[in-house]
């Protein structure tokens, strides 16, 4: 028998209170992680201590774990790959996914967006749309730089820059991305949004994962562990939207375990939140193992996380030989090639 979800007694009970506690606790934890770590990632420097010697002061500031460089949004992970290939893949993926999304809405109506999987599908489509725009910008920068290098090499001339100004100061080319670190531009709003969308989508499935694996294998984006908080928020927002819709309109639930009349609904909500924190992105778990007290969280290129369990075994064996700080090589294929045959899990 259908239950009226708009009735007050449907919500004013202990089951909803327990479910709400779990959902909002997860969202509060997510906001805390963003507040604690995202603020530090907006600047390239670390925690500025007053007592630094002259030798440390002369060094360039160390990049924070969550800093996103603009070139990471459009540059392939291997220098031998032209950015145009990544652009072509993203444009093709965008049009394919957008076409499928339009067909779904035309055939089944807007009710398809009641499903979490359709939310994810929409986000994947927007990801490739924004990625295509960033790749177009990157290809322009890549061509501009290469043309300038070839022109200088062909003419063999010296250009004397004005006093106090560099003729090749890229920080003044685009006022939207004026921050620099180590000769690389720090991404602005759209770059950080693209990075966040990328991490939200690493836990996708179905046809989405085919396109995400391709983009992950090509791009240079990283995976700061604390941004799993955005995945927690994403799931929490979905649940809240479902509650708001069903509180105003008595319709079917897209997933039976969301129905609050189910006696074990708090158990299902609890399991959902636990899986969101620890299983929302399978690549986040290995990262948590490498957080060292007193140091910033290490970041790794997401294109090198295809086999996280294999990497964990490699790290465990490497630690035996006294290696204390490890980073991923330039590609996951390189990891497999460099592992000695004596290592075993």
The CA distance from 296 to 41, in Å, is 10
Residue 197, domain member (yes or no): yes
pLDDT score of 169 more than 60? no
Provide the pLDDT for residue 124: 95
Tokens standing for residue 180 = 């620099």
Do 125 and 94 touch, CB atoms closer than 8 A? yes
**56-70: average pLDDT:** 65
Provide the pLDDT for residue 3: 85
Tell me which of 173 and 195 has the higher pLDDT: 195
Domain region containing 73: 8-46+62-151+170-282
pLDDT, tens digit (0-9, with 9 covering 90-100), for 315-327: 334 343 333 333 3
Residue 84, domain member (yes or no): yes
Residue 316, domain member (yes or no): no
Provide the pLDDT for residue 79: 86
Residue 268, domain member (yes or no): yes
- Closest by CA to 327, choosing from 63, 151, 27, is 63
Residues near 289 by beta carbon (within 8 Å), at least 6 away in sequence: 312, 315
pLDDT score of 308 more than 80? no
Structural domains in the chain (count): 1
Residue 33, domain member (yes or no): yes
Residue 13, domain member (yes or no): yes
Task: Return mean pLDDT, the chain.
Answer: 73
pLDDT score of 144 more than 60? yes
Provide the pLDDT for residue 311: 38
Residue 70, domain member (yes or no): yes
Determine how many CB atoms are found less than 10 A away from the CB of residue 191.
23
Calculate the alpha carbon distances from 278 to 36, 57, 149, 184, 281 in Å. Answer: 19, 39, 47, 33, 7
**52-68: average pLDDT:** 58
pLDDT, tens digit (0-9, with 9 covering 90-100), for 85-97: 999 999 999 999 9
pLDDT, tens digit (0-9, with 9 covering 90-100), for 87-140: 999 999 999 999 999 999 999 999 999 999 999 999 999 999 999 999 999 999
Model confidence, pTM: 0.70
pLDDT score of 339 more than 60? no
Do 284 and 223 touch, CB atoms closer than 8 A? yes
**333-337: average pLDDT:** 38
The CA distance from 329 to 92, in Å, is 28
pLDDT band at 344 (very low <50, low <70, confident <90, very high): very low
Provide the pLDDT for residue 281: 47
The CA distance from 137 to 93, in Å, is 18
Residue 144, domain member (yes or no): yes
**37-61: average pLDDT:** 54
Provide the pLDDT for residue 154: 53
pLDDT score of 242 more than 60? yes
Provide the pLDDT for residue 150: 60
pLDDT, tens digit (0-9, with 9 covering 90-100), for 218-237: 998 888 888 889 988 999 99
Cα end-to-end distance, the chain, whole Å: 53
Angle between helices 116-155 and 207-218 (to 10 degrees): 20
Which residues partner with 181 through β-bridges? 184
Do 232 and 22 touch, CB atoms closer than 8 A? no
What percent of the chain is modeled with pLDDT above 90? 39
Provide the pLDDT for residue 224: 84
pLDDT, tens digit (0-9, with 9 covering 90-100), for 250-277: 999 999 889 998 888 888 888 877 776 6
């Amino acid at each position: 028998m259908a239950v009226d979800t708009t009735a007050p007694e449907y919500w004013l009970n202990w089951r909803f209170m327990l479910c709400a506690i779990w959902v909002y606790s997860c969202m509060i934890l997510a906001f805390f992680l963003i507040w604690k770590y995202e603020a530090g990632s907006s600047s390239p420097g670390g925690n500025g201590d007053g007592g630094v010697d002259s030798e440390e002061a002369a060094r360039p500031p160390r990049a924070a774990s969550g800093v996103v460089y603009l070139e990471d949004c459009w540059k392939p992970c291997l220098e031998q790959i032209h950015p145009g290939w990544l652009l072509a893949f993203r444009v093709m993926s965008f049009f394919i996914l957008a076409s499928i999304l339009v067909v779904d809405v035309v055939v089944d109506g807007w009710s398809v967006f009641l499903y979490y999987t359709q939310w994810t599908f929409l986000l994947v489509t927007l990801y490739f749309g924004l990625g295509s725009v960033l790749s177009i910008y990157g290809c322009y920068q890549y061509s501009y730089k290469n043309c300038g290098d070839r022109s200088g090499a062909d003419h063999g001339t010296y250009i004397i820059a004005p006093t106090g100004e560099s003729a090749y100061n890229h920080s003044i080319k685009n006022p939207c991305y004026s921050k620099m670190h180590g000769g690389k531009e720090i991404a602005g709003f759209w770059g950080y949004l693209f990075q966040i969308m990328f991490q939200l989508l690493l836990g996708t499935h179905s046809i989405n994962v085919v396109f995400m694996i391709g983009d992950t294998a090509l791009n240079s984006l990283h995976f700061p562990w604390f941004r799993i908080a955005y995945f927690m928020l994403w799931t929490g927002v979905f649940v809240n939207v479902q509650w708001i819709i069903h509180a105003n309109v008595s319709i079917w639930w897209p997933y039976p375990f969301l129905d609050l009349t189910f006696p074990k609904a708090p158990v299902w909500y609890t399991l959902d939140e636990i899986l969101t924190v620890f299983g929302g992105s399978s690549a986040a778990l290995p990262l948590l193992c490498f957080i060292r007290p007193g140091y910033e969280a290490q970041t790794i290129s997401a294109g090198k996380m295809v086999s996280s369990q294999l990497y964990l075994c490699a790290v465990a064996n490497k630690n035996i030989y006294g290696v204390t700080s490890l980073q991923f090589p330039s590609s996951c294929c390189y990891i497999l090639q460099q592992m000695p045959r004596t290592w075993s899990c």
